[in-house]
Amino acid sequence: MKNVLKTHNCGELTLKNAGDSVTLAGWVNRRRDHGGLIFIDLRDREGLTQIVFDPERAKEVHTLAGDLRSEYVIQVTGEVTKRPEGTENTNLPTGEIELNVNKLEILNTSKVPPFYINKESDVDEFLRLQYRYLDLRRPHMQYNMILRHRVIKFMRDFLSDRGFIEIETPILLKSTPEGARDYLVPSRLYPGQFYALPQSPQQLKQLLMVAGFEKYFQIARCFRDEDQRADRQPEFTQLDLEMSFVDEEDILSLMEQMFIEMIETLTPSFKINKPFPRYTYKEVVRRFGTDKPDIRFGMEFADFSDLFDDTEFGVFKSVLASGGHIKGICAPGSADYTRKQQDELIEFVKTYGAKGLVTLAIGETDDDVKSRVLKFLTAEQIKQMITRLDAKAGDLILVVADSPKVVNNALSGLRTEMAKRLNLTDPDELKFCYITDFPLFDRIEEENRWDSMHHPFTAPHDEDISLLDTDPGKVRARHYDFVCNGCELSSGSIRIHQPEMQKKIFNLLGYTDDQIKERFGHLIEAFEYGAPPHGGIAPGIDRFVMLLCKEETIREVIPFPKTQSATDPMTGSPSPVPPELLHDLRLKVEEEKKAKE
């Protein structure tokens, strides 16, 4: 960054530059005014350099430097000198030298910042977002943003080198009722009609395959009007990509190679598991109760349902009678959990809809087991549970009995919770896995219909096609997920490329021919013009960068994120608009009805 106002960066001067006359520009990070000498740590994007104002060297400059305060923007010219013996600062890359200033220009002053920029500290997140431009000035956030840049650049280079073309797709699209709630944009030219912001460029990238681009990618902004989470924002960024003439293997191995190379290049301190293991959906749900398991630790599920066929324990009995399951995990070394701690765990599983939690504290012998429901359990049942979980003395067995869905949700939540409490995860480790063979359909029992588990463009496995007519619930999709440390990083699939199959799927999902034509006519028609077989994937960039930055939320890697209630404290969005604007759009805002009166 050599330019007119600065000859060097604050992070780059070393002993080699001693004797040079240089000009630096940046922010006052800290000042140490000794009355005589004044030391300033000057900060720019690249680092810190200590600059010295010596009254004997330049009296007037020294006087002017007395006015400097935190975050003033200054330009200084002076001589790089080796620091006097014993005053080097080994904590700074530039700590062997300092700049003796001959000339000082105050480029701008600064109000006292509302929070510290020159030291790491927890600050109220609302305040940070309100002054995001100052928050982003902190080295920590600069690191995150720069790493994000490097990740995206790596992806672009990697894919470009392999024949991918970056193509932009529209932000103003057609709204479709499936999936997440759309963000809508009213049309001025067609009052009463709306565009929708893309939830993902799914259909467009498929059309680009029909168009013959063969390998496409895009750093794509996606929008979903749903409630926020630590890893969910109203708008987020995906590496959207699609390839023609490929099967699962092409895509999975390409992604595996890209992520491994990227991590080894950009953040080599991470330990990663390679090759990435692949699990079927069925296997992973059986072992971990979730399709996005954290495989950095064990604590796998064991099924106890068969042990309690003849049980007199009312809770288990009624669960089994209604088709439920009884499963458990083993929390190592947690047998000493107090009643209060166990009650916390019970409250925890209740948030997942479980009615309760059975705990068994394992003592030194098989007879030495403590449980509140001990009298309902036979010695054989206990022995089996211990064996199946390979529980050791001092362990705590946690059992949930409920519908299969609740058992899996509650127990996998509990598994993650216990791993956190027991510190079972290594922050320097990234453990990836692929999940394959998802079911194509989800049953919506209440509405007596099938729904796409992923989206309706996912191809079924060839050998399962006959099941479409007989047993749709058994059809496996050519769909795959990419999971890291329990975080779903991306989803992808081999798509349907034949119009008949696509229509068949839509019909199975309950669409009438008219609805298909109205909503997806363009896609079906495109498939009639020589659509190649194709498939793709779309890794979430925010979540991936979050993992690389070891952050807990994606807000830390998004420059200007929204709050949990989807507002921006800095600009004050969303906001009302002038009536004229609404009038142009022929929009009327209905007054919110007061709840009480």
Touching RNA, residues 2-31 (CB under 7 A): 30
Residue 469, Ramachandran bin (φ over 0: left; ψ between -120 and 50: alpha; else beta)? alpha
Tell which positions 208-237 bind RNA, by CB under 7 A. Answer: 224, 226-232
Distances (CA, A) of 10 to 2, 18, 38, 288, 353: 11, 14, 18, 50, 55
Contact mark string toward RNA, 176..195, x via CB under 7 A: --xxxx--------------
**Taking CB under 7 A as the rule, does residue 590 contact RNA?**
no
Determine which residue in the list 1, 16, 63, 69 makes contact with RNA, applying CB under 7 A.
69
35 counts as binding RNA under rule CB under 7 A: yes
| By CB under 7 A, residue 52 contacts RNA | yes
Name the strands in the sheet holding 487-494, side by side, starting at the edge strand that comes first in the sequence.
165-166, 215-223, 235-244, 534-539, 487-494, 479-484, 432-436, 278-280
What is the spatial distance between Cα 550 and Cα 527, in angstroms, rounded to a whole number?
43
Residues 89-148 that bind RNA (CB under 7 A): 89, 91-92, 95, 98, 112, 114-116, 119, 121-127
Residue 50 pairs in a beta bridge with 41
| CA proximity to 485, closest of 427, 556, 538 | 427
Interior CA angle at 17 toward 13 and 23, to 5°?
A: 65
Residue 515 is a binding residue for RNA (CB under 7 A): no
Does position 50 interact with RNA (CB under 7 A)? The reply is yes
Q: How many CB atoms lie within 10 A of CB 53?
A: 29
Is the Cβ of residue 430 or residue 477 nearer to RNA in the bound state?
Answer: 477
Identify the three-state secondary structure at position 403: coil
Helices (H), 85-221: 125-130, 132-135, 139-161, 202-210
User: Going residue by residue from 432 to 471, which x/- string records binding to RNA, judged by CB under 7 A?
Assistant: ----------x--------xxxxxx---------------
Q: Give the residue, chosen from 21, 63, 87, 507, that forms a contact with RNA under the rule CB under 7 A.
A: 87
330 touches 299 (CB < 8 A): yes
Contact by Cβ (8 Å): 496, 458: yes
Kindly identify the residues of this chain, within the stretch 380-419, that bind RNA according to CB under 7 A: 409, 413
**399 vs 385: CA distance, rounded Å:** 10
Contact flag: residue 282 with RNA (CB under 7 A): no
Which of residues 177 and 314 has its CB atom nearest to RNA in the complex?
Answer: 177
Site string for RNA, 517-556 (x = CB under 7 A): ------------------------------------x-x-
Is 169 a residue that touches RNA (CB under 7 A)? no
Size of residue set near RNA by CB under 7 A: 72
Residues 318-357 that bind RNA (CB under 7 A): 351-353
Which lies closer to RNA via its Cβ, residue 431 or residue 495? 495
Q: How far apart are CA 173 and CA 367, in angstroms?
A: 66
Query: Judged by CB, which is closer to RNA: 395, or 476?
Result: 476
Counting DSSP H helices and E strands in the chain, the numbers are 16, 24
Q: How far is the CB of 391 from RNA (least distance, A)?
A: 26
Give the nearest distance from C-beta 205 to RNA in angstroms.
Answer: 10
